[in-house]
Chain A
Amino acid sequence: MIIRRLLNCWFRKMRTGFYVSAVCLSAGAYFIGAMVRSESGPVAPFLTQAGFAGFLLTALFFFIHLNLHACHWFLDHFRDTDHLPTRQISHVNSFCMTLFLCLCLGAMPAAAWSLEPLWQSLYRWFADFGHPGQIPFPEPDTGTGFSQSPDLSRLLGEPRPTPAWIVIADRIFRVMGYILILLFVVLVCYRLCRQFWTWITRPRFFDSDEKIYLTPTWSLGSDKKKAGPKPAGWFSRSYSEKIRRRYRREILTLSRKKKLTLPPSASPSQLEETAGLNHKVLHRLYEKARYGPEECTRQEWEEIRGPGPR
């Protein structure tokens, strides 16, 4: 209870100063570690890592603070609202923030490490531009400084050439191994995600609202069912699909030129009238391609292949 009160008190204000200080501290530690040479022992890499970790944590906590502060403001503002689903809001917010923070936790270090070579290249380019060959880029710390392993191949003599079938078999089994491991990882991830989804969507009775979960279908548009499937790409062999693409392109091009909005309730004739398209053959073939029982033939496609009348 006391902890909750303290936390509420903490999140009620922005506390920007605290986070700025934390960022400065982390940045300071990082840059000190970067400037100090590795010959001085493990202190420098530790400072660098600590500074980076501190920065990461500060960013994460800052996002959490931003979110909770906004939630506090919202709940204070709408405290007297009836049917206010506070627990549901908390549940959804926790879900969203968990996903967001996991993404941050993965993306930020990944971005930092993956962009490092780019910064190095840029630094070298600028350095060469200004003072060629003078200032070397501080090499990144490669680890704790283990010595290299001794070369034992001299003791065993010259290696004999590996038979071809062993090489091929080795490659095949290696590929199979990678595939199996990948499949195993995918299966485990799928099972975990499913269990997670089942856990997330278990019945909860936060308030008097009735809540049900729908079967996910990966389609964002609500009217894709009405519009039907989009015509296939240029590689499609179906002549009906090609005719549909051609028709769609013609109408869209004409309507964009005239800056017209195409009403969703318009029939093909009305669309053509609106856009100003006068191509009877295309109209007939489009209707056949879109609503007919049979596919269009190559000859029909050839009829409209060239530029038609406008």
Chain B
Amino acid sequence: MKLFSAAACAFLLWILQDVLFHRFWARGLCVSLDFNCRGVTEGERGILRETITNAKALPLPVLHVKFHMGKHLVFTASGNSRITDHNYRSDIFSCMPWQKIRRTLEFDCRRRGYYTIDQVQLVSYDLFFSSRYVASLPARAAFYVYPGAADPGRLTLPFRSLTGQILAQKALIPDPFETRSVRPYETCDPYRSVNWKATARTGELKVNVYAPTSSRQVMLLLDVDSDRIWKDQDLTEEAIRLCGSYCGLLTGEGIPVSVSTNGIDCITGSRGYLEAGAGRGHWQSVMELLARISSDDNDRLPMEEIIEEMFSSSQSSAAGDGSGLVYVLISPKQRPSLALAYNGLCRLSPGSQWILPLRPGQDFPSEGFCPQQYHHMSVFPWEVPYDYSQTS
């Protein structure tokens, strides 16, 4: 009978370890995935950190951590990854009691975008791998891959043309809040412009002379729509890179820039828009917006409609004449309707530009599109050579 008791005890112990693992394997287990920074530029390398915390007395001999993220983030050591519509990864850990393990994984960022890891699946086993336990945890990790830089040499020409135009407009509009100098009072000078301190010091009425403003703003209009039968993704990406680089140059000069695009923001689901701002922080916001533009969405407004909407709002604004704003359109479409609408918008904004990305050998100007007719804007063709080295 002792044998029978011993055998029953062995069986119960086997059951006990199964029950223990079943009940407690996920208790005190914390899995977090985070990236080392908010984002990197396309082509650079990022780092993903996996942290497993086993805050309990029960060890975990094997723990699978499975998740998926965008397929354009490719791990350098990709034995655990399967890339189909996403990049599926399964990592294996083994945790002692009260142990915290952190693993660092490097990955290459091959394309611009906003990548998230929403969920993590955990799989574990008991001591004899006879039972399998699965749990899902939410993960809130997000990573930006900003668009790369466009050729700075070629961008200099349109940029200098634009800043020259802004400087020329500088002296035309006085700023009522920036005092430049003081002069003697003349008949019909407004009471509000009297400089009382200067008047008290000199004994004669003096009035302020206001400085001209340099508060010209630039609005970048980015068209990511395509009128081709098949979509030239690289041309669209180059347009996005142009927008980012141009914004960087303008904000570097302290010129406020706003961005409007018909691309869909993958977080909000609406088309992308950013109000005017200047400085490095604003450029960061613009790059994040450009990273979030979804390239697969087909449900976009044509750029003509957006331009007409903008035209109507500028007409009804307090200023009424749309002054103070210079437009820069980045669109590969040589469409007469677009050109007409944009020309109408630029009528009150001299110095506006159209940067036109196109492929080598592509007709410029195409049939029906005559840039010479449109006097209120300057058209800059931007050749985008084919890149045969990259695979999709």
Contact = CB atoms under 8 A, between A and B. Distances in A.
B101 interface: yes
A92 interface: yes
Nearest to A23: B7
B9 A107 contact: yes
A213 B79 contact: no
Contact of A112 (B9, B24, B57, B99): B9
The CB with the most chain A CB atoms within 10 A, among B28, B55, B78, B96, is that of B96
B10 interface: yes
Interface string A6-37: 00000000000000000000110010000000
A92 B97 CA distance: 9
The CB with the most chain B CB atoms within 10 A, among A59, A96, A210, is that of A96
A108 B4 CA distance: 10
B234 interface: no
B128 A92 contact: no
B22 to A, nearest CB: 14
B190 to A, nearest CB: 58
A200 B99 CA distance: 11
Contacts of A66: 128
Contact of B129 (A70, A81, A91): A70
A116 B5 contact: yes
A74 B63 CA distance: 12
Interface in A94-129: 95-97, 100, 103-104, 107-109, 111-113, 115-116, 119, 123
A88 B103 contact: no
A247 interface: no
A73 B62 contact: no
Contact of B102 (A59, A209, A220, A222): A209
A93 interface: yes
Contacts of B100: 211-214
Interface residues of A, number: 60
A89 B103 contact: no
B2 A113 contact: yes
Nearest to A212: B100
B5 A115 contact: yes
A201 B6 contact: no
A52 B3 contact: yes
A63 B386 CA distance: 63
Q: Which range contains the number of B residues in contact with the other chain?
A: 35 or more
Interface stretch (B86-94, B152-160, B252-260): B86-94
Given A209-B101, A212-B99, A82 B79 contact: yes
A218 B58 CA distance: 11
Nearest to A85: B94
Contact of A93 (B28, B30, B61): B61
Contacts of A304: none
Contacts of B91: 81, 83
B40 to A, nearest CB: 22
B9 A216 contact: no
B98 interface: yes
Given A82-B80, A103-B13, A211 B30 contact: no
B77 interface: yes
B5 A119 contact: yes
Given A111-B5, A216-B57, A100 B96 contact: no
A221 interface: yes
A116 B1 contact: yes
Given A59-B6, A59-B7, A92-B59, A216 B97 contact: yes
A113 B105 CA distance: 54
A78 B92 contact: yes
A265 to B, nearest CB: 14
Contacts of A56: 6
B322 to A, nearest CB: 48
A88 B94 contact: yes
A286 interface: no
A100 B24 contact: no
Contacts of B97: 216
Contacts of B62: 74, 89
A106 to B, nearest CB: 10
A26 B10 CA distance: 15
Given A67-B128, A221-B27, A111 B9 contact: yes
Contacts of A151: none
A39 interface: no
A89 B62 CA distance: 7
Given A67-B128, A209-B101, A95 B6 contact: no
Given A107-B9, A108-B6, A100 B17 contact: yes
A25 B6 CA distance: 16
Contact of B77 (A26, A83, A88, A107): A83
B9 A96 contact: no
Contacts of A208: 103-104
A30 B3 contact: yes
B8 interface: yes
The CB with the most chain A CB atoms within 10 A, among B17, B105, B125, is that of B17
Across chains A and B, which 6 residue pairs bring their CB atoms closest together, nearest first? A82-B79, A70-B129, A111-B9, A112-B2, A119-B1, A82-B77
Interface of B: 1-10, 13-14, 17, 24, 27-30, 53, 55-57, 59-62, 77-80, 90-105, 125, 127-130
Given A111-B5, A222-B28, 15 more contacts: A30-B2, A52-B6, A55-B7, A63-B10, A70-B128, A71-B129, A81-B90, A82-B77, A92-B60, A92-B95, A96-B61, A100-B13, A104-B9, A108-B9, A209-B103
